[in-house]
Chains A and B, each alone.
Chain A
Amino acid sequence: MTALAPPPSGEMLKRRPFAMAISKAGAVISITGAIIIWLVILGPLGALAAHVSPASISRSLSLPQALQPLVTSVEASSITLGVLVVVCTPLAWLLARRRLPATRIWETGILLMLLVPPLVLGLLLVLMAGPLTPVGHGLSELHLSASDTFFALVVAESYEAAPYYLLGAQAAFAAVDPAHEDNAALLGDRPTRTFYRVTLPLASPGLANALAVAWARAMGAFGAVLIVAYHPYGLPMQVWTTLEERGLPYALPFALLLIAVALPVPVAAYLWSARARG
């Protein structure tokens, strides 16, 4: 019987180099894959950096009123974010806790907003709130207009960024165990106090991520903005018109500026939330 049994040590010696080769090959493949993916992702950024020189940046940005679109974009995006936080945060909580009737229909609506191409969204906004519509009349009573104004820019950015924030915030709230809220209530907290003491701190990493994505969307909003708020120029519109009127070399510095302003917030939020989650 013992003679029939395979010698274990010999077998191990035969298998070990093969297994090691496989694991080495696996490591090489995964590292190479990661490098390729990074190159693909960062390729356009690298190309942008390669084509923009300090001289071209200063030439573009020293044009008269060159920085006004940046100011406009930052202001509009900040207001957009404020509106989203005030309006969409409670809505996201209600959706996450299934406190609204017909939650599925709400979610479908939000998903539709996300899926409609921004350009089409702009057309729909014109149809809904253009100067000749009842909403447009109502707005003009308030001395507002949803067409080619700063207000229109905020509206367009809000429509483009809202679904991203709503879905992110809903996921952030849904990740908070409702048992924590029950415990806080049983310990004597009223619902608003529970929200500020328990729900919000626990959801804040996810909320920060959602807000960062919304910021990037608002800063880069273009499709809907092109239709309803061509003026006042925001940064994406500045990139587009400079490209049309003066060509790529003049537009690239603005593109770099857009990235430089839009990206740090999301990256910082991601790093903070990753740290908060441990």
Chain B
Amino acid sequence: MLEVDIEILRRDQTVAANFQVGQGERFALFGPSGAGKTTVLNALAGLVRIHKGTVVLGSTVLSSTRHPRRQVPLRHRHLGLLRQRAGLFPHLSVRQNLRYAGASTKELEELSEQIGIKELLDRSPATLSGGQAQRAALARVLLGPCRALLLDEPFVGLDLSLRTQLAGIVGDIAVARQLPTILVTHELAEAQAFADRIGVIDRGRIVQIDGPSQVVLEPATRRIAELLGYRGFPPEDPKLVGNRRIGVHPARVVTGERVVVGPKDIRAQVRILDSWPSGPGWELLCEYLGEQFSFVAPQRYYAHQQLSVTILDPPRFNLDGNRVESR
């Protein structure tokens, strides 16, 4: 179990984090750029000093500002850190990189077979593609003294299928080896695909921790909803303007009369303001009760058209921006 309760002083803000990650659990830290995700990860790795708090891995206190103060040096922390840049040592071959921490030939062969880099072992890191380099870096970390995995957006810049494949490999290994694993990302879909739980971090604070679906369906505040991609907050009740607001997510609006409306869904008559092609469909900018939002529809509609849409089980927020249970 990795237990984190820390505060880090950064030039622009204080970053605080409090969460636990169990053995074999995959935890994602999701938030916008500058929110403090990487700072938290660097503090766990020991690259950044914490101002207050503790980091405990299993029964080992890695960092503590309480008595007795403790800051375990990097080489004794036994953490595997994987960053956006693979960071293979460029003067060593892939095999030498993998053996850096003294892994046996048998371990090396087995793991490179599992990760699919067996044929790359005698290559120089400079000749690898981004995905190959990340795989090799993952193998190097796993062959080292690794009791927990820290992933700092390691799949950014790779194409989608490679990302999915790599995230799958890492996730499977984390579970098989029972490693507490933390993935830092600013992409919600990636966090959802990877993690058992997601922590949303904003302006240096973890504002919500929940399962991958709850975090999107039940954002705790309007601000979190905005971070998760909700694009409009019209009043809930057309007759009581300004009472409560609902959150509209572009992917949770459906068009057409035939949709069966659930008890928590909202049927709305919207006015189209603009439309443009988006993927296989059309993104429509519309207005509803004085609020604008956009969503993707399978077909094109034109400005000034009225359209009947269903907003699927939207979260409700009171005027303070906190979520309230739907009626």
Q: Which residues of A contact B (CB under 8 A)?
A: 177, 179-180, 182-190, 197-198, 201-202, 278
Contact = CB atoms under 8 A, between A and B. Distances in A.
Contact of B75 (A179, A186, A197): A186
The main secondary structure of chain B at its interface with chain A is: loop
B145 interface: yes
The main secondary structure of chain A at its interface with chain B is: helix
Given A182-B74, A186-B81, A198 B89 contact: yes
Contacts of B102: 188
A183 B89 CA distance: 9
B75 A185 contact: yes
B173 to A, nearest CB: 17
A185 B74 contact: yes
Given A179-B85, A183-B81, A202 B91 contact: yes
Nearest to B100: A187
A201 B89 CA distance: 10
Contacts of B80: 186
19 contacts: A177-B87, A180-B87, A182-B45, A182-B47, A182-B81, A183-B87, A185-B75, A186-B74, A186-B75, A186-B77, A187-B75, A187-B145, A188-B102, A190-B75, A197-B100, A201-B91, A202-B89, A202-B90, A202-B91
Contacts of B87: 177, 179-180, 183
B193 to A, nearest CB: 26
Interface in B235-274: none
A186 B83 contact: no
Interface string B84-109: 01010111000000001110000000
Interface in B139-157: 140-141, 144-145
B73 interface: yes
A186 B80 CA distance: 7
Interface residues of B, number: 23
A188 B47 contact: no
Contacts, number: 47
A188 B89 contact: no
Given A179-B83, A198-B89, A186 B45 contact: yes
A190 B141 CA distance: 17
Contact of A187 (B83, B91, B144): B144
B100 A184 contact: yes
Most-contacted residue by chain B among A185, A197, A198 (CB, 10 A):
A185
B73 A187 contact: no
Contact of B145 (A179, A188, A278): A188
Interface in B40-80: 45, 47, 73-75, 77, 79-80
Contacts of A180: 87, 89
A186 B87 CA distance: 12
B128 to A, nearest CB: 15
**5 closest A-B pairs (Cβ-Cβ)?**
A185-B74, A187-B144, A187-B101, A201-B91, A188-B75
A202 B100 CA distance: 15
B91 A189 contact: no
A195 to B, nearest CB: 13
A184 B73 CA distance: 12
Nearest to A179: B87
B198 to A, nearest CB: 25
Nearest to B150: A186
A183 B74 CA distance: 9
Given A202-B90, A202-B91, A185 B85 contact: no
Contacts of B47: 182
A198 B96 CA distance: 12
Given A187-B75, A187-B101, A190-B75, 8 more contacts: A180-B89, A182-B74, A185-B75, A186-B74, A186-B79, A187-B144, A197-B100, A202-B90
Contacts of B90: 202
B55 to A, nearest CB: 14
Contacts of A198: 89
A198 B45 CA distance: 19
Contacts of B81: 182-183, 186
B315 to A, nearest CB: 40
Most-contacted residue by chain A among B83, B87, B102 (CB, 10 A):
B87
Nearest to B102: A188
Contacts of A184: 89, 100
Most-contacted residue by chain B among A188, A202, A278 (CB, 10 A):
A188
B211 to A, nearest CB: 30
B127 to A, nearest CB: 11
A202 B90 CA distance: 8
B70 to A, nearest CB: 17
Contacts of A179: 83, 85, 87
A184 B141 CA distance: 10
Nearest to A177: B87
Interface string B23-49: 000000000000000000000010100
A108 B290 CA distance: 62
